[in-house]
Amino acid sequence: MWVVKRRILVYAHQNNQLPKSLANIPTLPRFDNSIKDAWGRSLQYQINENKTITLKSLGQDGLPGGAGENADIILSFPTHGADGDWSDPLVNWLTD
């Protein structure tokens, strides 16, 4: 998911807006440019009101919740830095 995060922010830098969907993000040479999770399902992409983006995989079973391989993978990152500019494409994930 870190490559998807990076691709979203590259798009933002190039277009001065966030992509409406993951289908719009540019590819990066020499990287896995898939927008699917490890089980072949599309990642969920959500733009949040607090200037963050959340990427989500529902795990191996494709159902909300679960444990182990079935656990959801939910990661968020800031779209903007403290200065108001777009975040660097290598920005860290937010932690709880």
In a domain, residue 20? The reply is: yes
In a domain, residue 87? The reply is: no
Number of domains in the chain: 1
pLDDT value of position 5: 98
DSSP-based three-state secondary structure for 14: helix
CB 60 within 8 A of CB 69: yes
What gap in Å lies between CA 79 and CA 12, rounded to an integer?
9
In a domain, residue 91? The reply is: no
In a domain, residue 95? The reply is: no
pTM as predicted: 0.95
CB 76 within 8 A of CB 54: yes
- Residue-wise pLDDT tens for the chain (96 aa)? 999 999 999 999 999 999 999 999 999 999 999 999 999 999 999 999 999 999 999 999 999 999 999 999 999 999 999 999 999 999 999 997
C-alpha of 17 from chain center:
15
C-alpha of 18 from chain center:
11
In a domain, residue 86? The reply is: no
In a domain, residue 68? The reply is: yes
In a domain, residue 85? The reply is: no
What is the span of the domain harbouring residue 47?
2-78
In a domain, residue 88? The reply is: no
pLDDT value of position 16: 98
